[in-house]
């Protein structure tokens, strides 16, 4: 638990950065010195591990310092003013973002929702708040066995329902996977046992066959002079396996991607060439070839996927990508940490290039605002760069959202089945299942929703209550005189759309002449 364990993970750290982290390290050690964890270990261990996880993600010195300090206000009554004075307002904002509200003012679920809301409001201004919170939660999950039994299930459930999906949506697969694996046995002990046992029975035979296939695969690629940087055969995580088994009558034979082979090659050309070589040798399963390089997932994920018949009765999923794509797929949004506007401007020109790259990468994630509402033509401009739209939306919900609605959003809309809809320009918007063109319009901008008069889906004029399907290209037609009607509330699936429609209806009401 030395300071060097952390500073050695920091890239391009200035003397000032290192000093800030060191100060936070010493401050936390002292503030929590008489404070222990359920395991009996010093509390500082938790702070150290949290800060280390943040550093591993590549976050900056302020985020790492916040990792050390994140429990000081809540657990050992350090005053916010003290953090401000010692570490500045940037670190204080991060710490306050993850701090729960005072015990006295709020109790039970109210207090809890308020804390959650605060987390999203803070995150919608600075995404690092969410990163600190995720790392805090990950370490708590790693040590959940020490927590009293009656608390374990609630914490694990919340992790599975809220934090693991957040990590997924941010594209931080590394944390998403670990949170799922750690929560699964606490939330569904029976099912966990069943999956583990099924796997124990089937796995050895399967793994033998596939190891053989893996070898022939590499041979085939090398013969075509493709330089494979690395590749591995791995078992997909137990929780996602459970979700698949559940939907396929627990028939192991129906799951094609229990095991997957990941092939890392130097360039994008190599990715497509490898795919060609593989399909030349092994017949692919129709409908399972996915080009996430040309069409990245909204969380930024890029890779080629295909599923092939191995020739000895097995079917296996292959993922082909470059080293850079792999890093992004593991670290997501954290692989391109976005700093606040002010610090950005101070840095050198290189940053502009980096920024435009981030912009491109997270095109689908960024928030786009329309410039004027001409007749159906929509142009976009990003704001609060680097902060995913859905985080902003959750933060914005703060304003007057009903308690129930907030939770519905968090549990439902945001994390359940999502569909990916494209704008005519190729930007991706993700929406809940069965969303309509109205939801799509409001997800782009409230002005577009408010003036919607029609929609083209895949080039064809369609009713505005059409249920959209993933991959649809939707163009919204607007007119100055367009207005929402009360009927729209029943059509839309997103709370954001509901909120704007209600507001617009109310405005129309107020304008009506009074009798
Ligand atoms: Mn903590």
pLDDT at position 21 over 80 = yes
Residue 305 · residue 318 · CB < 8 Å: yes
More confident residue, 192 or 375: 192
Identify the CA nearest to 362 among candidates 336, 330, 391. 336
- Report the pLDDT averaged over residues 435-453: 93
Alpha-carbon span 90 to 73, nearest angstrom: 15
Query: Per CATH, is 417-511 categorized as 3.30.70.60?
Result: no
Q: For residue 98, report the distance from its CA to the centre of ligand 1, in Å.
A: 9
pLDDT at position 401 over 80 = no
- Report the pLDDT averaged over residues 259-282: 95
pLDDT-derived band of residue 150, with 50, 70 and 90 as boundaries?
A: confident
pLDDT at position 281 over 70 = yes
Name the least confident of 36-40, 177-181, 234-238.
234-238
Q: Report pLDDT for 252.
A: 73
Q: For residue 106, report the distance from its CA to the centre of ligand 1, in Å.
A: 20
Chain centroid to CA 157: how far?
Answer: 18
Q: Could you give the residue numbers annotated as active site?
A: 74-75
The CB-side HSE value for 181 (13 A sphere, CA atoms) comes to: 13
**Residue boundaries of the structural domains of the chain:** 3-99+127-186, 189-330, 337-380, 417-511
- Report the pLDDT averaged over residues 367-381: 27
pLDDT-derived band of residue 133, with 50, 70 and 90 as boundaries?
A: very high
Q: What are phi and psi of 165, to 5 degrees?
A: -65, -35
413: CB partners within 8 A, 6+ apart: 432, 493, 494, 495
Q: For residue 257, report the distance from its CA to the centre of ligand 1, in Å.
A: 35
- Report the pLDDT averaged over residues 221-225: 94
Q: Report pLDDT for 213.
A: 93
- pLDDT tens digit string along 228-269? 999 988 887 889 888 888 888 887 777 766 788 999 999 999
Q: For residue 105, report the distance from its CA to the centre of ligand 1, in Å.
A: 21
User: What sign for the dihedral angle of Cα 170, 171, 172, 174?
Assistant: positive
Q: Report pLDDT for 126.
A: 79
- Report the pLDDT averaged over residues 194-218: 87
Q: For residue 137, report the distance from its CA to the centre of ligand 1, in Å.
A: 7
Name the least confident of 10-24, 180-194, 229-243, 446-460.
229-243
pLDDT at position 346 over 80 = no
Q: For residue 71, report the distance from its CA to the centre of ligand 1, in Å.
A: 5
Q: How distant, in Å, are the alpha carbons of 9, 80, 99 from that of 48?
A: 13, 21, 17
CATH code given to domain 189-330: 3.30.460.10
Q: Report pLDDT for 166.
A: 84
Q: How many CB atoms lie within 10 A of CB 477?
A: 19
Alpha-carbon span 349 to 353, nearest angstrom: 7
- pLDDT tens digit string along 84-115? 999 999 999 999 888 865 433 334 445 566 66
Alpha-carbon span 64 to 227, nearest angstrom: 37
- What phi-psi label fits residue 456: left (phi over 0), alpha (psi between -120 and 50 degrees) or beta? beta
Name the least confident of 138-152, 272-286, 342-356, 382-396.
342-356
The tokens 């929560």 sit on which residue? 183
Alpha-carbon span 321 to 300, nearest angstrom: 13
pLDDT at position 282 over 80 = yes
Q: In whole numbers, what is the pLDDT of the chain averaged over residues? A: 80
Q: For residue 156, report the distance from its CA to the centre of ligand 1, in Å.
A: 15
Q: For residue 132, report the distance from its CA to the centre of ligand 1, in Å.
A: 9
> By percentage, how much of the chain surpasses pLDDT 70?
78
Q: For residue 75, report the distance from its CA to the centre of ligand 1, in Å.
A: 9
Q: For residue 126, report the distance from its CA to the centre of ligand 1, in Å.
A: 19
Q: For residue 70, report the distance from its CA to the centre of ligand 1, in Å.
A: 6
Q: Identify the CATH assignment for 3-99+127-186 out of 3.30.70.120, 1.10.10.10, 1.10.3210.10, 1.20.1440.80.
A: 1.10.3210.10
Q: Report pLDDT for 215.
A: 94
Q: Report pLDDT for 396.
A: 65
Q: For residue 337, report the distance from its CA to the centre of ligand 1, in Å.
A: 22
Name the least confident of 41-55, 69-83, 152-166, 347-361.
347-361
Q: For residue 35, report the distance from its CA to the centre of ligand 1, in Å.
A: 12
More confident residue, 321 or 514: 321
Q: For residue 72, report the distance from its CA to the centre of ligand 1, in Å.
A: 9
């Amino acid at each position: 638990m030395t300071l060097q364990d952390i500073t050695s993970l920091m890239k391009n750290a200035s003397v000032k950065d290192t000093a800030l982290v060191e100060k936070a390290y010493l401050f936390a050690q002292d503030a929590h010195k008489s404070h222990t964890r359920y395991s009996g270990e010093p509390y500082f261990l938790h702070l150290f591990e949290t800060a280390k996880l943040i550093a591993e993600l590549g976050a900056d010195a302020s985020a790492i310092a916040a990792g050390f300090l994140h429990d000081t206000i809540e657990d050992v009554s350090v005053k916010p003013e003290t953090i401000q004075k010692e570490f500045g307002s940037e670190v204080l904002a991060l710490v306050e973002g993850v701090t729960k509200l005072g015990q006295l003012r709020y109790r039970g679920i109210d207090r809890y929702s308020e804390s959650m809301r605060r987390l999203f409001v803070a995150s919608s201004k600075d995404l690092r708040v969410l990163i600190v919170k995720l790392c805090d939660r990950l370490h708590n999950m790693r040590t959940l066995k020490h927590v009293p039994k009656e608390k374990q299930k609630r914490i694990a459930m919340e992790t599975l329902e809220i934090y693991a999906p957040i990590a997924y949506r941010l594209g931080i697969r590394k944390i998403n996977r670990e949170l799922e694996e750690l929560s699964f046995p606490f939330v569904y002990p029976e099912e966990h046992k069943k999956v583990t046992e099924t796997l124990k029975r089937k796995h050895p035979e399967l793994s033998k066959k596939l190891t053989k296939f893996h070898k022939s695969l590499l041979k085939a690629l090398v013969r075509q002079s493709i330089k494979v940087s690395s590749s591995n055969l791995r078992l997909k995580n137990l929780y996602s396996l459970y979700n698949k088994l559940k939907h396929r009558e627990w028939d192991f034979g129906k799951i094609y991607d229990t095991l997957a082979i990941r092939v890392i090659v130097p360039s994008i050309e190599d990715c497509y060439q490898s795919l060609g070589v593989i399909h030349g040798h092994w017949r692919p399963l129709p409908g399972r070839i996915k080009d996430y390089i040309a069409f990245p997932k909204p969380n930024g994920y890029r890779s080629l996927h295909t599923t092939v018949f191995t020739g000895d009765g097995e079917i296996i999923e292959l993922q082909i990508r470059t080293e850079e794509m792999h890093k992004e797929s593991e670290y997501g949004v954290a692989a391109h940490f976005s700093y606040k506007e002010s610090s950005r401007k101070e840095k050198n020109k290189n940053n502009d290039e980096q920024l435009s790259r981030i912009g491109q990468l997270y095109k689908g994630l960024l928030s786009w605002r329309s410039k004027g509402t001409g007749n159906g033509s929509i142009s976009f401009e990003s704001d609060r760069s680097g902060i995913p739209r859905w985080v902003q939306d959750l933060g914005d919900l703060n304003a007057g959202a009903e308690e129930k609605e907030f939770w519905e959003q968090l549990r439902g809309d945001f994390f359940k089945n999502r569909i990916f809809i494209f704008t005519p320009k190729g930007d991706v918007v993700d929406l809940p299942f069965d969303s309509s063109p109205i939801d799509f319009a409001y997800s782009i901008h409230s002005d577009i929703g408010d003036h919607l008069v029609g929609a083209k889906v895949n080039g064809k004029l369609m009713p505005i209550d059409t249920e959209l399907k993933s991959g649809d290209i939707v163009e919204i037609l607007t007119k100055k005189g367009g207005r929402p009607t009360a009927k729209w509330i029943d059509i839309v699936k997103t709370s954001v759309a509901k909120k704007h429609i209600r507001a617009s209806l109310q405005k129309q009401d107020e304008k009506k002449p009074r009798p």
